[in-house]
Amino acid sequence: MNILDKIISHKRTEVGNHRFNFTMGQLRDQSSGRPAPPKFADALCAAPIGLIAEVKHKSPSAGVIREPFDPAAIAADYEAAGAQCVSVLMDREFFGGGEEHFQAVRDQINLPMLYKEFVVDPWQVWHAKKLGASAVLLIAAAMPETLLAGLMTEIRLAGLEVLFEVHNEEELETALKLDAPLIGINNRNLKTFETSLETTLRLLPKVGKDIRVISESGIRTREDVERLRDAGTAGILVGEQLLRQPDLRAAVRDLMGT
């Protein structure tokens, strides 16, 4: 069993427990009065290349990334430095995230936020809505196409946007078949955990011009950003590279050339 399979297995158990304590109907009721969240894809496209800056405490491959870890302060620095959107890790077991991190960031900033989670159940969609997310991540490698299609329908019903993440040609075909308007190309090989920007550059020409593409993982320098921008990428998602720097505002401005 690889790490993604372990995470998905744990997530199904975790969501089952959440459903027992707090029903999806209750989530819908609590989210019904929320104002419409800021537009995620539109915010990214307001810049020559948009930045989704990530709030992440740790990962299975990198261990603890930042200490001390203050999600609200991190997000405030991202916003002040000009990031277009913020992603917050929801998984606690493997990534050290959680609802309290998302809520602290939502209370701190006005930017669109990505519910960065291993979504396996509609319950999580309405949880994202309740917390004030603008977009929800769906990972093609996490489940069959039929389940992904159902979750996309649920996300749209909730009035949220989808960031559909792919790693290879087969998964990209699924994204295109499901008419995903915002596709994230993850440069990390799920088997080796190695990263290469060539993954984005190889898959990008296969995507229609009316679909926005976000490059994820392995983006470390301004030259990387410029290369992806010139190739036609609408945005990038960066976490660890920024979070390991002592001055987050300077790190964002240096990476983005602003």
Could you list the active site residues?
A: 54, 56, 116, 165, 186, 216-217
Look at residues 114, 117, 96 and name the one whose alpha carbon lies nearest to residue 105.
114
Alpha helix stretches (DSSP H) within the chain: 3-21, 24-31, 40-44, 71-81, 99-108, 122-131, 145-157, 169-177, 198-203, 222-231, 240-243, 248-256
CA distance 46 to 212: 12
Q: What share of the chain is helix, strand, coil (3-state, %, to 5)?
A: 45, 20, 35
Beta carbons of 51 and 80 less than 8 angstroms apart: no
Q: How many CA atoms lie within 13 A of 105 on its CB side?
A: 32
Q: For residue 79, give every residue at least 6 positions away whose Cβ sits within 8 Å of its Cβ, in sequence order, or none.
A: 86, 109, 110, 111
